Amino acid sequence: MLSSSSSHKTPNRARAYQKWSSSARARLVATPRCDYMVIVGFILKVYVFLSAYILLELAKTKSIPRFAIQLMAKYYDIDDILAEEELVPSVFQHAANEVGLFDSSDDTNKVEAGSRVELPFWLVRELYLRQLISIRVPPCFDRESKTREEIGADAAHVDLRSRCLYFYEVGCKIAPLVGDKTIGPFLLVAFRTRYKEVLIKAHTLTPAVAPKYLTLLTNEEAKLYEAGQSSITAFKKWRMGGPRFQMAPVLGRKRKPT
């Protein structure tokens, strides 16, 4: 009896295994790309996470400077790239060959020590960290500049766009290099005062007058202006669309008599 019962069970198990293997094989054949894409996506996520974790750990141990991670975070930011194209007055501490293009008055393709040139900020930062140049504060950020006087008198109507298109961003970048602690409070006062005026103008100016006002604004302020205009346009559209408030069903129920 034992042998007969085992002989009956064995074919059933074999048939069940064959049925399961055929269905599993069909599923694998039908959706191989989906499985592969999920696996590849998971591996990429793990790789990105581990890379970020390793960078942070290296920054903690000071194996790489922390500002390097900040630079990597803005690597694809077009506004950050354009902001670092702003020219900064610099003085070469040592003579340099094959860099005559920085000094338009010299035809020898060489810059002598003590030469005063204007360099883009992205180059100034690297040369300054290597102690190859000294930096002079750009005129619009100088303590005794007319820009500071005008902002102190009437900040809302000062033309900052013609002096530095990325005024606030360049100021924040240059302040640590030149060691001027007054630049930070100066930028804060300028932005706080002009911010109110920018939002008021964004809500009240007509399209005919707006272009003239935009010629006074920096890149950061122009974006705030556009955001303010978008918000007021959306608000007017919402108001013209009719009533938006509806009474909740629970408030419309009548109380049961007590």
Query: What are the structure tokens assigned to 140, written together?
Result: 């619009």
Which strand ranges, in their side-by-side order, compose the sheet holding 133-135?
A: 116-120, 87-92, 133-135
Of 164, 139, 157, nearest to 219 by C-alpha is: 164
Count Cβ atoms within 10 A of the Cβ of residue 72 and give its class: 0-12 exposed, 13-18 middle, 19 or more buried.
exposed
- Report the DSSP beta bridge partners of residue 87: 120
Q: How confident is residue 17, by pLDDT bands cut at 50, 70 and 90? A: low
In this predicted structure, the answer to whether residue 103 has a pLDDT above a threshold of 80 is no
In this predicted structure, the answer to whether residue 190 has a pLDDT above a threshold of 80 is yes
Query: What are the structure tokens assigned to 97, written together?
Result: 């060959």
In this predicted structure, the answer to whether residue 223 has a pLDDT above a threshold of 70 is yes
Q: What does the mean pLDDT of the chain come to?
A: 74
In this predicted structure, the answer to whether residue 19 has a pLDDT above a threshold of 60 is no
Say if pTM beats, i.e. exceeds, 0.85. Answer: no
Q: What is the pLDDT of residues 46-83, one digit of tens each?
A: 555 555 555 555 555 544 444 444 545 566 788 888 88
3-state secondary structure of 119: strand
Task: Please compute the mean of the pLDDT values over residues 168-180 and round it to a whole number.
Answer: 88
**Is the distance from CB of 136 to CB of 89 less than 8 angstroms?**
yes
Residues 225 and 163: their CA atoms lie apart, in Å, by 19
Residues 39 and 37: their CA atoms lie apart, in Å, by 5
Amino acid sitting at position 62: K
Task: Please compute the mean of the pLDDT values over residues 92-113 and round it to a whole number.
Answer: 69
User: Which ranges of the chain would DSSP assign to H, the alpha helix?
Assistant: 2-30, 32-60, 66-73, 78-83, 121-129, 146-154, 167-178, 183-204, 210-214, 219-240
